[in-house]
Amino acid sequence: MEKIEKLRNMTSIYLLCEDKMLLLYRQGSRVVNDVWVGSAGGHFEESELNDPEACVLRELEEELSITKDMIVDLELKYITLRRMGELRQNYYFFAKLPNGTGMQLISDEGQLKWFPIEQVSELKMPFSAGFVVEHYLKTGRYDHAVYGGMANGQTVTFVELTDYSR
pLDDT digits (tens, 9 = 90+) for 6-53: 888 999 999 999 999 999 998 766 666 689 999 999 999 999 989 999
Amino acid at 144: H
Residue 26 has, within 13 A of its CA and on its CB side, a CA count of 20
Residue 116 has pLDDT above 80, yes or no: yes
Output the pLDDT for position 2: 66
pLDDT for 99 = 81
pTM for the predicted model, two decimal places: 0.93
The length of the chain is 166
Alpha-carbon distance of 16 to 18, in angstroms, equals 7
Cα(81)–Cα(140) distance, rounded to whole angstroms? 18
**The pLDDT value given to residue 26:** 86
Strands 72-83 and 87-96: antiparallel
Give the number of C-alpha atoms closer than 13 A to the C-alpha of residue 106, restricted to the C-beta side: 2
Q: Which of 51, 9, 57, 59 is nearest to 31 (CA)?
A: 9
Tens-place pLDDT, residues 64-114:
999 999 999 999 999 999 988 889 999 999 999 998 888 889 998 889 999
Beta-bridge mates of residue 94: 14, 75
**Could you give the maximum distance between any two Cα atoms of the chain, in Å?**
56
Q: Is the pLDDT of residue 160 over 90?
A: yes
